[in-house]
A and B are shown apart, each in its own frame.
Chain A
Amino acid sequence: MTLTTTSLTPPQKTAYHFTDFMSAVLLIFLQAGILIGWNANSSLTMPDFLLITIGMVIGIIGVGLNLYDTSSRDIAKKIIFGAGLILLLYFGSLFAQNSLIEDFSGLFGIGFWLSLVSALGLCLQYILARPEIYSFSPLAQSIHKSPFEFIFSASTLILVTLNLAQGINFMRVNTNKLTLGVVALGVGIFGIWLLFYFTNELVENLPEKLRDRLRPFVFVGPAIAILTVFLVYPAINTFLLSFRDAEGEFPCIRQTVIVNERERSVCATETINGEEVEVKNYFYLGNYDYAFNNEAMRVAIRNNFMWLVLVTGVSVSLGLIIAVLVDRIGKWESVAKSVIFLPMAISAVGASVIWGFMYFVQGKPNQPQIGLVNAIIVGLGNKPVNILNDTNINNFALIIIMIWLITGYCMVILSAAVKGVPDELLEAARIDGAGEVRIFFNVIIPFIRGTILVVITTVFTMVLKVFDIVYTLTGGRRDTEVIANRMFRSFFNEGDYGRGSALAVVMLIALLPIVFWNIHNLRKQRA
């Protein structure tokens, strides 16, 4: 139904089509949501559905009229608003009778009735064409708005929120993929937008001072809330969990006792208030002991170090060299760049299959090698090598995959920086008799130092988190373990939350310098 929240603002304001549109969408959304979506045992009859459809059509016509005709109250609109009013009243009683929402008497009911009453007030004001009605309360006078608008925005906000909650719950329990997708898009696009819209409406109807203070938080609030729930709280929680045992509990302090002439490790106990309780270790470092002293973890840390040095070193240098080279090949530059850059579009799992095939070794004698690398090795008269199993080379084989994936990224960023080196600078160096190699090292590199640093930190961050390649190709066997893979296996396969958390903290600590560097850069930018 067409209700407008701005139709009763001071009469000089006549262009309000967007608001009307949103109101209509809201009501359609609410009706569909309340009646059909969230209640599987809807007891509505066919005539009711017909009336609802008529209501929606009227709403849409109302929107259309408002879009075409922004001049104030004409008779057609009055009729439509009137019809909307009657339908609203009818549905109000219908909803209440049928109680389709299980807790209709709760918040949902309050929100609904408030919204209905305020909508009614708005419609009446509109039909009577007497905007001065709003001047009856001091609050309304101070903000030049009808109190109905305030109540309407508050109650619709409640309704939108509840509908969103219902929608989220629906997506949690429903398993039909198509329905899920449709509801997700509805909630993801319209639901979230309506939430912002009506929170903003509510704040707009507050006194000016309060309004200006609250509004920014309406805009950033949801983002901050999500970041808190999905990143900040988990990071803190991970840190705390890293001092706990596999189940995420505080372990007890162990002590060795001799039972039946055998040494046994048992929990130390103490007596509190006559009860014997285990002494908990609130600063358990066993996971960190594992992280740095376990043999598998030492291999992982060694490998990660190798990954970091080799991938960062090779891909950044190679990227820089290619960036300088492609700068000089004329019209084919963009094609060459695309070719080198293309692996960035490929998933690490896909890349693992591509290279797994390159490295493949045919075990049986007298069979031709179908993996390119071994075909070349054999073609040169050598014996085939089981590349991913040979502990001397398998890490390098995996590292090459990452270099292949990431060099294009380095090249594209550095290429832009190389083009930023002023021609005059290069000309001057050339006039001074510098060769191209000297120009590369003494002019280009110093000039783009900042960009190189950015690329290095980015590659470093990506490499530290390498997981998919190792997980897919070797699973960390044969000395190819890396921290991220060990971390995943700790909690996912072995169910050891404490260990997994400690390893995540180790990764975070390795990235802390970059975190601080980023903040430092941000400060510099702002200054």
Chain B
Amino acid sequence: MSAISFSTPASQEIVVSGSRRSLRHVFSSASVRVTVLILCILWSIPTFGLFVTSFRDPVDINSSGWWTALTPPYEFTFDNYNAVLNADGMGIAFGNTFLVTIPSVIIPITIAAFAAYAFAWLKFPGRDFLFALVVVLLVVPLHTALIPLLRLYSDPNIQLNGTYLGVWLAHTGFGLPMAVYLLYGYISTIPKEIMESALIDGASPYTAFTQLVLPLSVPAIASFAIFQFLWVWNDLLVALVFLGTRDDIAVITRNLQELVGSKGQNWEVLTAGAFVTMLVPLMIFLFLQRYFVRGLMAGSVKG
């Protein structure tokens, strides 16, 4: 029955369990079910319509609503996907998005894990201040960073504009507060006795971190990784600012947005293109829902 378990930003585990029997009897259960069913249908119609349209012939798309395709004769085609992946550059952009996303997810993890461990278990002057800084930066919108970074990147000695390195570094910086915060929430809940017994056994803080803390924090790291993956994958702003508008290095969100501008009436291109951008996030949603929810919960305040 319990489907999703996740942690709130304060990281207390809450397991979503089934309904409460007593309530169900009191409230008219049928009307509740119908209401929920209607809401669910309303919520899924837009995506479903897009999905159906992406498999229809362009002539059909423009001559009849997508809902007419749900009755026989069924005429579906993969041509739109062929076109959008090859002719419209979605295929290249798909690869570029992976190239942007994977390092942007991996680079912050080690850095954040070490920092979170220090914040949680080591005493040092300025610790509270620095951690408060992390919490503040969690809310500060990344918009405040764009212009100075863009200027910095254009510096003749640096020249990071339009490079993947520039985007990786930017995403690392923007994702770090949330990574530290999320991992801190997890690492600080490791029982004190476990940590102390490790140190008594002669482990240095470094060993305690690699042998004890890191293996224990794998779920939190997975949550962060998934959150950051989706965030970077779905991002348009950062990619647009730091990668620019060149087609050969553009990511899929930029490509799709460009298509909306240039082919705004060609729904066979747009629907298939939109579905290509959604494919990977939806797979993650379906197969890693547990971590997905947990990551989104903890990270949704990200600036």
Contact = CB atoms under 8 A, between A and B. Distances in A.
A507 B141 contact: yes
B43 A404 contact: yes
A179 B141 CA distance: 33
Interface string A355-371: 11110100000011110
Contacts of A14: none
Interface string B171-207: 0111011001000000000000000000000001110
Given A507-B144, A519-B135, A329 B46 contact: no
B119 A185 contact: no
A451 B150 CA distance: 37
B55 to A, nearest CB: 14
Contact of A488 (B3, B96, B237, B292): B237
Contact of B111 (A168, A226, A336, A503): A226
A180 B102 CA distance: 12
Contacts of B46: 354-355, 357-358, 372, 404
Interface in B215-233: 230, 233
Given A168-B165, A519-B135, A347 B240 contact: no
Interface string A309-326: 000000000000010011
Contacts of A226: 111, 172-173, 176
Given A226-B111, A412-B293, A241 B148 contact: yes
A336 B237 CA distance: 32
Contact of B3 (A337, A436, A487, A505): A337
Contacts of A290: none
Interface in A170-191: 171-172, 177, 180-181, 184-185, 188-189
A357 B135 contact: no
Contacts of B210: 18
B140 to A, nearest CB: 6
Interface in A393-429: 404, 408-409, 412-413, 415-416, 419-420, 423, 426-427
A224 B118 CA distance: 12
A193 B147 contact: no
Most buried by B among A224, A353, A370, A461: A353
A229 to B, nearest CB: 7
Contacts of B180: 223
B44 A339 contact: yes
Contacts of B44: 339, 342
A348 interface: yes
A162 B239 CA distance: 29
Contact of A172 (B2, B23, B165, B173): B165
B19 A333 contact: yes
Contact of A177 (B3, B32, B95): B95
A220 interface: yes
A235 B147 CA distance: 9
A345 B285 contact: yes
B103 A188 contact: yes
B140 A409 contact: no
Contacts of A454: 8-9
A172 B233 CA distance: 21
Given A339-B44, A353-B260, A511 B141 contact: yes
Interface residues of A, number: 127
Interface in B70-98: 95-96
Contact of A348 (B17, B132, B236): B236
Contact of A231 (B32, B36, B177): B177
Contact of B45 (A172, A372, A458, A508): A372
A341 interface: yes
Interface stretch (A30-38, A99-107, A124-132, A465-473): A465-473
A368 B63 contact: yes
Given A226-B176, A343-B47, A347-B277, A514 B139 contact: yes
Nearest to A334: B3
A262 interface: no
Given A358-B49, A419-B16, A488-B237, A216 B65 contact: no
Nearest to B202: A13
Contacts of A185: 102-103, 106
A347 B151 CA distance: 27
Contact of A522 (B135, B148, B235): B135
A516 to B, nearest CB: 9
Contacts of B32: 325, 328-329
Contacts of B141: 461, 464-465, 504, 507-508, 511
A234 interface: yes
A426 B19 CA distance: 14
B120 to A, nearest CB: 10
Contact of B26 (A172, A348, A436): A436
Interface in B100-134: 102-103, 106-107, 110-112, 114-115, 117-119, 122-124, 127-128, 130-134
Contact of A468 (B6, B110, B204, B236): B236
Contacts of B297: 412-413
A505 B144 contact: yes
A501 B3 contact: no
Contacts of A526: 128
Given A355-B46, A368-B65, A372-B45, A412 B4 contact: yes
Interface of B: 1-4, 6, 8-10, 14, 16-20, 22-24, 26-27, 29, 32-33, 35-37, 39-40, 43-47, 49-50, 53, 61-67, 95-96, 99, 102-103, 106-107, 110-112, 114-115, 117-119, 122-124, 127-128, 130-152, 159-160, 163-165, 168-170, 172-174, 176-177, 180, 204-206, 209-210, 230, 233-237, 240-241, 253, 256-257, 260, 264, 267, 270-271, 273-274, 277-278, 281-282, 284-285, 289, 292-293, 296-297, 300-301, 303
14 contacts: A180-B99, A196-B110, A220-B130, A333-B18, A342-B44, A344-B296, A345-B230, A349-B257, A370-B61, A370-B66, A420-B14, A471-B236, A472-B257, A507-B141
Given A185-B102, A412-B297, A518-B136, 18 more contacts: A177-B96, A180-B164, A213-B124, A219-B118, A226-B173, A230-B176, A237-B148, A322-B39, A333-B19, A339-B40, A342-B285, A349-B277, A436-B26, A451-B8, A462-B300, A467-B236, A492-B240, A525-B10
**Can you list the 8 inter-chain pairs with the closest CB atoms, starting with the nearest?**
A230-B173, A334-B3, A347-B234, A223-B115, A216-B124, A219-B118, A237-B148, A234-B145
